[in-house]
Structure 1
Amino acid sequence: MDKNTTPTTPQTTWTIAEEQVGTRLDRFLTSQIDKLSRASIQQLVTDGAILINGKPATKPGYALRRNDRIQVLTLVPSSAVKNVVAQTIPLDIVYEDADLIVINKVAGMVVHPAPGHYEDTLVNALLARYPELKKQQEDLRPGIVHRLDRDTSGLLLVARNLQTQGALIEQMKAHQIEKRYLALVEGVVSLDRGSIDAPIGRDPRHRQQMTITSIDSKEAVTHFKVQERFQHHTLVLLQLETGRTHQIRVHLKAIGHPVVGDPTYGTGRIRYGITLQRQFLHAYQLRFNHPTTGATIELEAPLPPDLQDILDQPEFL
């Protein structure tokens, strides 16, 4: 399998191996692309968005052959974009100018629509507040430069035009945008600071999860610094050098200190008397160069009340 995708998109190119020969095209792609139904795959075939050896596929039931090269040009069927509507949803705007916005995203908000989930996302809210983004709506992610997991709160950068979006994505690829997170982790971290350098790829047994693996993976580097140690937990500041899906959560699990409250990569709860409804992970600081003015923008979002309340009860930590 090829590794030709950006950090924020799933794999979209495959070379068919012997064990996959004879599989229907739509069945194969449904198994490889999370949350995309066979109906969506069939619509993508109709849209001409799936190539086999460089030519548009004509039949969803095409039987794969050895060394066929499958390319998916977009993960969004033409019918899906029509379902995304503007919705007036409150947003916490931390910074705003003619080219970009920085939002302090609340926990529980999904960043962009996906098949089967076209409402109540950040993109729906952005389309209502910034009508110019509708001009970019060739897919489900107008203006989106990077993502945060649904239950991760904090600073998120959004572009208001295609030129700015392209420039910021290039900064992201060049590791020129600094993103720092605060996380409360299980256990007491012994090192004051350190780095986790381990490649991340899709978990072959649980396709919606990521894992550390050498197979079809990408480089991933996370730096950490201890902020405060408690009896059973540690507050750490993390800086991403790369931006892989679930990177912080996977890396912290790998060193034996999963994020508190993480239901996927940790225990999903605090064991010592405190209830938390989501993972204790917050995008705390953001630093980047404005692509138009060249000015350095530095922003910070304090911990939201649900996370700060945890730290205010150190007797349980």
Structure 2
Amino acid sequence: MNNDTSPSTVQTQWTISDEQVGTRLDRFLAAQVSELSRSAIQQLIADGSILINEKVSTKAGYALRLNDSVRILNFVPSSAVKNVVPQAMPLNIVYEDVDFLVLNKVAGMVVHPAPGHYDDTLVNALLARYPELRTKEADLRPGIVHRLDRDTSGLLIVAKNLRTQAALIEQMKAHQIEKRYLALVEGVIALERGSIDAPIGRDPRNRQQMTITSVDSKDAITHFKVEERFQHHTLVLLQLETGRTHQIRVHLKAIGHPVVGDPTYGTNRLRYGINLKRQFLHAYQLRFLHPTTGATIELEAPLPPELQSVLDQSEHL
């Protein structure tokens, strides 16, 4: 077995030997890395942060083969998780009951801690307001049901207990949670409405980015409807049928209409008098079933001032 780390660091890469052949991927990692909890390992696998022979593996039950190379990306030891400190920060709560809350996240806030960024996240703020969210098992994402990119604002669900979290995640997997976004995109979209159906996976040239690919990818479907056309831009309402990382941004780039202000998938050029320090993408509406009562929950968050002010100057768009 190869060890590519010094004694002061945690090993994150292995080559499978004879006695390890046939072992499930998740069980192998649990045995090798005591710093990671079982749930953390499963989350890493689901997130595409485990590479086998330099290709993403999202199957926890994958049976390891002789000489397979296994590597962990974005490794976060449980000691770091336990040291995530509560930080009192303002939260815009849109709905709350004993089971969950829905908040309107501001742009610029990271949802949960990650390597190199353990402070000033939504999780830090949640732990300060709801200390009961911290469970006995280390978890970087207490209560988190789904995520929003750092520079995407809008509605986000947070569960207050494990039962509710599991039920809402199941709704998410079954595509029963309707999520709609507003985005201002570059160029004028000709169609009134349409769907983008293209699989998304890690960009092999930049593992921190996503791209449309048939290799190690997952199905991704985004529906869009034109809300308003301007001279050089289009305001669109988008509904996700799937919830892949960076899905909206990657899909809109693919059809030639990237999100205005997107530093990763856009042109990163603000023209026509637009003054914006973030991407124009906002989680606008949520619709789902209450996991306890079965009642339909419908919520809406208006555009934040910095985005609305762009639309108010439509003569420049």
* TM-score where L is the length of structure 1: 0.81
Q: Secondary structure of the residue that 1:259 maps to in structure 2? A: coil
Could you tell me which residue of structure 2 aligns to residue 118 of structure 1?
118
Quote the offset at 1:138 in angstroms: 1.9
The aligned amino acid for 1:42 is: Q
Alignment-derived partner of residue 262 in structure 1: 262
The alignment partner of 1:42 has SS state of coil
Task: Give structure 2 stretches of 5+ with no counterpart.
Answer: 15-19, 35-52, 54-64
TM-aligned CA deviation for residue 113 of structure 1: 0.5
Q: Write the deviation string for residues 35-72 of structure 1: whole angstroms up to 9, x where unpaired.
A: xxx97743899xxxxx873443389xxxx984537487
Q: Is 1:148 matched up with 2:138?
A: no
User: Would the aligned equivalents of 1:226 and 1:237 in 2 still touch at CA under 8 Å?
Assistant: yes
Match status 1:212 vs 2:212: yes
Once the two structures are superposed, residues 15-53 of structure 1 have per-residue CA deviations (whole angstroms, 9 ceiling, x without a partner) of xxxxxxx8x4657xxxxxxxxxx97743899xxxxx873
Q: CA RMSD in A?
A: 2.6
* Aligned AA (1:272): Y
SS in 2 for 1:209: strand
1:273 — aligned with what? 273
Displacement, 1:189? 0.2
SS of the residue corresponding to residue 208 of structure 1 reads: strand
Q: How does 1:1-317 map to 2 (within 5 A)?
A: 24=2, 41-42=10-11, 53-54=23-24, 55=28, 56-57=31-32, 66-68=66-68, 70=70, 75-135=75-135, 138-317=138-317
Moved over 6 A (4+): none
Q: Which amino acid aligns with 2:274?
A: I
Q: Which amino acid aligns with 1:57?
A: Q
- State the one-letter code of the partner of 1:283: A
Query: Which residue does the alignment assign to 1:32?
Result: none
Superposition TM-score, scaled by structure 2 size: 0.81
C-alpha deviation, 1:157, in angstroms: 0.4
- CA distance change for structure 1 residues 116 and 40 in 2, over 3 Å: closer, same or farther? farther
CA distance in 1, matches of 2:106, 2:203: 28
Paired AA for residue 271 in structure 1: R
Per-residue CA deviation, residues 229-270 of structure 1 (Å, 9 max, x unaligned), is 000000000000000000000000000000000011011232
The residue type paired with residue 196 of structure 2 is I
Checking the alignment, whether the CA contact within 8 Å between 1:269 and 1:276 is kept in structure 2 is: no
Paired with 1:296 and 1:208, the residues of 2 have a C-alpha distance of 36
1:58-89 residue CA offsets vs partner (Å, 9 max, x unmatched):
89xxxx984537487x9541211122011100
**Unaligned 5+ runs, structure 1:** 1-21, 28-37, 46-50
Structure 2 contact 178–287 (Cα < 8 Å) conserved: yes
Q: C-alpha distance in 1, partners of 2:201/2:145? A: 21
When residues 204 and 44 of structure 1 are mapped into structure 2, their CA distance, relative to the original with a 3 A threshold, is closer
**d(CA) in 2 for partners of 1:269 and 1:137?**
44
SS in 2 for 1:181: strand
Q: Is the 8 A contact 1:194 1:223 kept in 2?
A: yes
Q: 1:41 to 1:195 in 2, by over 3 A?
A: farther
Q: In structure 2, how many angstroms separate the alpha carbons of the residues matched to 1:188 and 1:40? A: 51
Q: Distance in 1 between matches of 2:137 and 2:261?
A: 35
3-state SS of 1:231 partner: coil
Counterpart-to-counterpart distance in 2, 1:225 and 1:39 = 53
Change (3 A) 1:132 1:43: farther
| In structure 2, C-alpha distance between the alignment counterparts of 1:254 and 1:26, rounded to whole Å | 38
Distance in 2 separating the partners of 1:202 and 1:229: 32
Aligned length: 276
Taking the aligned partners of 2:259 and 2:75, their CA distance within structure 1 comes to: 30
Please say if residues 82 and 138 of structure 2, whose CA atoms lie closer than 8 Å, have aligned partners that are also in contact: no
